[in-house]
Amino acid sequence: MRYRAAVSLIELLVVISLLAALATLLVPMFSTVIHDANQVATKRSLAEVRDSVIDYWNDTKHVTLDGITTVATEANRFDTDWLFANPVTGDSTVDFDINTRIGWRGPYLVESTGNVVTAGSPYVIDAWNGEIEIQDVDSAAALRDVRIVSGGPDGTIDIPAATATSSLTAADVGDDIYVAIQLR
Protein backbone atom coordinates (compact mmCIF):
# COMPACT_ATOMS: atom_id res chain seq x y z
CA MET A 1 0.00 0.00 0.00
CA ARG A 2 1.13 3.41 -0.92
CA TYR A 3 0.48 6.51 1.21
CA ARG A 4 0.38 10.03 -0.16
CA ALA A 5 2.10 12.73 1.82
CA ALA A 6 1.26 15.72 -0.36
CA VAL A 7 -1.57 17.38 -2.30
CA SER A 8 -1.48 17.22 -6.05
CA LEU A 9 -1.46 20.36 -8.14
CA ILE A 10 -4.92 19.58 -9.52
CA GLU A 11 -6.40 19.22 -6.04
CA LEU A 12 -4.82 22.51 -5.02
CA LEU A 13 -6.24 24.29 -8.09
CA VAL A 14 -9.72 22.86 -7.40
CA VAL A 15 -9.65 24.15 -3.81
CA ILE A 16 -8.38 27.58 -4.89
CA SER A 17 -11.06 27.91 -7.57
CA LEU A 18 -13.77 26.94 -5.06
CA LEU A 19 -12.49 29.58 -2.63
CA ALA A 20 -12.43 32.19 -5.40
CA ALA A 21 -16.02 31.34 -6.39
CA LEU A 22 -17.11 31.62 -2.76
CA ALA A 23 -15.34 34.97 -2.41
CA THR A 24 -17.16 36.40 -5.46
CA LEU A 25 -20.44 35.54 -3.77
CA LEU A 26 -19.55 36.93 -0.35
CA VAL A 27 -17.77 40.20 -1.22
CA PRO A 28 -20.89 41.98 -2.60
CA MET A 29 -22.89 40.82 0.40
CA PHE A 30 -20.32 42.25 2.84
CA SER A 31 -19.99 45.53 0.93
CA THR A 32 -23.77 46.00 1.27
CA VAL A 33 -23.53 45.30 4.99
CA ILE A 34 -20.71 47.85 5.35
CA HIS A 35 -22.66 50.47 3.37
CA ASP A 36 -25.76 49.91 5.52
CA ALA A 37 -23.69 50.11 8.72
CA ASN A 38 -22.16 53.41 7.56
CA GLN A 39 -25.63 54.81 6.89
CA VAL A 40 -26.87 53.77 10.33
CA ALA A 41 -23.81 55.25 12.06
CA THR A 42 -24.14 58.50 10.10
CA LYS A 43 -27.85 58.81 10.91
CA ARG A 44 -27.02 58.36 14.58
CA SER A 45 -24.36 61.09 14.36
CA LEU A 46 -26.82 63.41 12.62
CA ALA A 47 -29.40 62.79 15.36
CA GLU A 48 -26.81 63.56 18.04
CA VAL A 49 -25.85 66.82 16.34
CA ARG A 50 -29.55 67.66 15.83
CA ASP A 51 -30.24 67.21 19.56
CA SER A 52 -27.23 69.40 20.39
CA VAL A 53 -28.38 72.10 17.97
CA ILE A 54 -31.85 72.12 19.55
CA ASP A 55 -30.37 72.47 23.06
CA TYR A 56 -27.97 75.19 21.85
CA TRP A 57 -30.82 77.07 20.13
CA ASN A 58 -33.11 76.89 23.14
CA ASP A 59 -30.35 78.36 25.33
CA THR A 60 -28.99 81.03 22.96
CA LYS A 61 -31.83 82.12 20.65
CA HIS A 62 -32.29 85.34 22.66
CA VAL A 63 -28.56 86.14 22.73
CA THR A 64 -27.73 88.83 20.19
CA LEU A 65 -24.84 87.81 17.92
CA ASP A 66 -23.63 90.96 16.20
CA GLY A 67 -19.95 90.20 15.51
CA ILE A 68 -18.94 93.39 17.35
CA THR A 69 -19.60 92.56 20.99
CA THR A 70 -19.59 88.83 20.17
CA VAL A 71 -17.31 86.51 18.23
CA ALA A 72 -20.18 85.16 16.12
CA THR A 73 -22.79 86.88 13.97
CA GLU A 74 -26.38 85.92 13.33
CA ALA A 75 -25.38 84.68 9.86
CA ASN A 76 -23.05 82.08 11.36
CA ARG A 77 -25.12 81.26 14.46
CA PHE A 78 -25.26 77.59 13.51
CA ASP A 79 -21.57 77.03 12.79
CA THR A 80 -20.46 73.78 14.38
CA ASP A 81 -17.88 75.75 16.40
CA TRP A 82 -20.58 77.14 18.68
CA LEU A 83 -21.60 73.67 19.83
CA PHE A 84 -18.11 73.46 21.37
CA ALA A 85 -17.36 77.11 22.24
CA ASN A 86 -19.36 80.12 23.42
CA PRO A 87 -20.35 82.27 20.39
CA VAL A 88 -20.09 85.42 22.52
CA THR A 89 -16.59 84.86 23.94
CA GLY A 90 -15.13 82.25 21.55
CA ASP A 91 -13.98 80.03 24.41
CA SER A 92 -15.61 77.57 26.82
CA THR A 93 -16.92 80.28 29.18
CA VAL A 94 -20.40 79.36 30.41
CA ASP A 95 -22.65 82.42 30.73
CA PHE A 96 -26.04 80.85 31.30
CA ASP A 97 -28.47 82.77 33.53
CA ILE A 98 -30.51 80.23 35.45
CA ASN A 99 -33.30 82.76 36.13
CA THR A 100 -33.90 83.87 32.55
CA ARG A 101 -32.72 80.55 31.09
CA ILE A 102 -30.74 82.47 28.47
CA GLY A 103 -27.10 82.03 27.55
CA TRP A 104 -24.56 79.45 26.46
CA ARG A 105 -24.16 76.47 28.79
CA GLY A 106 -22.20 74.15 26.56
CA PRO A 107 -20.31 72.47 25.26
CA TYR A 108 -23.28 70.79 23.63
CA LEU A 109 -21.11 68.12 22.05
CA VAL A 110 -18.47 66.44 24.18
CA GLU A 111 -15.64 66.38 21.67
CA SER A 112 -14.80 66.88 18.03
CA THR A 113 -14.60 63.70 15.98
CA GLY A 114 -12.58 65.46 13.27
CA ASN A 115 -8.90 66.39 13.38
CA VAL A 116 -8.98 69.74 15.19
CA VAL A 117 -5.26 70.35 14.71
CA THR A 118 -5.50 70.11 10.92
CA ALA A 119 -8.83 71.93 10.60
CA GLY A 120 -8.16 74.63 13.18
CA SER A 121 -11.59 74.21 14.78
CA PRO A 122 -13.74 71.35 16.04
CA TYR A 123 -16.11 69.49 13.75
CA VAL A 124 -18.05 66.24 13.53
CA ILE A 125 -17.47 63.55 10.90
CA ASP A 126 -19.79 60.95 9.42
CA ALA A 127 -19.05 57.24 8.91
CA TRP A 128 -17.25 58.01 5.63
CA ASN A 129 -14.91 60.50 7.39
CA GLY A 130 -16.64 63.48 5.77
CA GLU A 131 -17.47 66.62 7.71
CA ILE A 132 -21.06 67.01 8.87
CA GLU A 133 -22.38 70.47 7.98
CA ILE A 134 -25.10 72.54 9.63
CA GLN A 135 -27.11 74.56 7.11
CA ASP A 136 -29.23 77.53 8.20
CA VAL A 137 -31.39 78.27 5.14
CA ASP A 138 -32.41 81.84 6.07
CA SER A 139 -30.77 83.45 9.10
CA ALA A 140 -33.29 86.33 9.03
CA ALA A 141 -36.42 84.14 9.16
CA ALA A 142 -38.53 83.92 12.32
CA LEU A 143 -38.96 80.17 11.78
CA ARG A 144 -35.45 78.82 11.22
CA ASP A 145 -35.08 76.00 8.68
CA VAL A 146 -31.95 74.17 9.79
CA ARG A 147 -30.44 70.98 8.32
CA ILE A 148 -27.67 68.77 9.58
CA VAL A 149 -26.11 67.24 6.44
CA SER A 150 -23.67 64.45 5.63
CA GLY A 151 -22.15 64.21 2.15
CA GLY A 152 -22.85 60.47 2.14
CA PRO A 153 -20.61 57.88 0.47
CA ASP A 154 -19.15 60.29 -2.10
CA GLY A 155 -18.25 62.84 0.63
CA THR A 156 -19.63 65.81 -1.30
CA ILE A 157 -22.55 67.79 0.09
CA ASP A 158 -24.92 68.30 -2.82
CA ILE A 159 -27.79 70.00 -0.98
CA PRO A 160 -27.76 73.74 -1.73
CA ALA A 161 -27.60 75.60 1.60
CA ALA A 162 -30.03 78.33 0.47
CA THR A 163 -32.79 75.97 -0.69
CA ALA A 164 -35.66 75.48 1.74
CA THR A 165 -35.99 71.92 2.98
CA SER A 166 -39.57 71.74 1.70
CA SER A 167 -38.31 72.62 -1.81
CA LEU A 168 -35.55 70.00 -2.01
CA THR A 169 -35.75 67.50 -4.86
CA ALA A 170 -34.11 64.10 -5.20
CA ALA A 171 -31.59 65.69 -7.57
CA ASP A 172 -30.70 68.27 -4.88
CA VAL A 173 -30.17 65.60 -2.26
CA GLY A 174 -28.16 63.07 -4.32
CA ASP A 175 -26.55 60.60 -1.92
CA ASP A 176 -26.55 63.08 0.97
CA ILE A 177 -28.12 62.12 4.27
CA TYR A 178 -29.75 64.87 6.31
CA VAL A 179 -31.97 65.69 9.25
CA ALA A 180 -34.10 68.85 9.08
CA ILE A 181 -35.48 70.82 12.01
CA GLN A 182 -37.54 73.97 12.32
CA LEU A 183 -36.68 76.27 15.19
CA ARG A 184 -38.68 79.19 16.60
User: pLDDT digit string (tens) for 35-53?
Assistant: 899 999 999 999 999 999 9
Q: Does 19 reside within a domain?
A: no
Lowest mean pLDDT among 41-55, 73-87, 110-124: 110-124
Q: In whole angstroms, give the CA distance from residue 153 to residue 99.
A: 45
b/e burial code for range 71-100 (CB count within 10 A of at least 16 → b) = bbeeebbbbbbbbbbbbbeeeeeeeeeeee
26 has pLDDT over 90: no
Residue 144: domain span = 43-183
Residue 31: what pLDDT? Answer: 80
Residue 99: what pLDDT? Answer: 93
Residue 1: what pLDDT? Answer: 63
Domain tally, the chain: 1
Q: In whole angstroms, give the CA distance from residue 112 to residue 92.
A: 14
The chain-wide mean pLDDT, for the chain, equals 90
Residue 111: what pLDDT? Answer: 82
At CA 126, angle to CA 50 and CA 48, rounded to 5?
25
Q: Does 16 reside within a domain?
A: no
Q: Does 11 reside within a domain?
A: no
Total-model pTM:
0.82
Residue 74 DSSP one-character state = G
Residue 12: what pLDDT? Answer: 87
Mean pLDDT of 77-84: 93
Q: Does 33 reside within a domain?
A: no
Residue 119: what pLDDT? Answer: 64
Residue 148: what pLDDT? Answer: 97
Percent of the chain with pLDDT over 90: 75
Q: Does 29 reside within a domain?
A: no
Q: Does 108 reside within a domain?
A: yes
Q: Does 92 reside within a domain?
A: yes
Q: Does 34 reside within a domain?
A: no
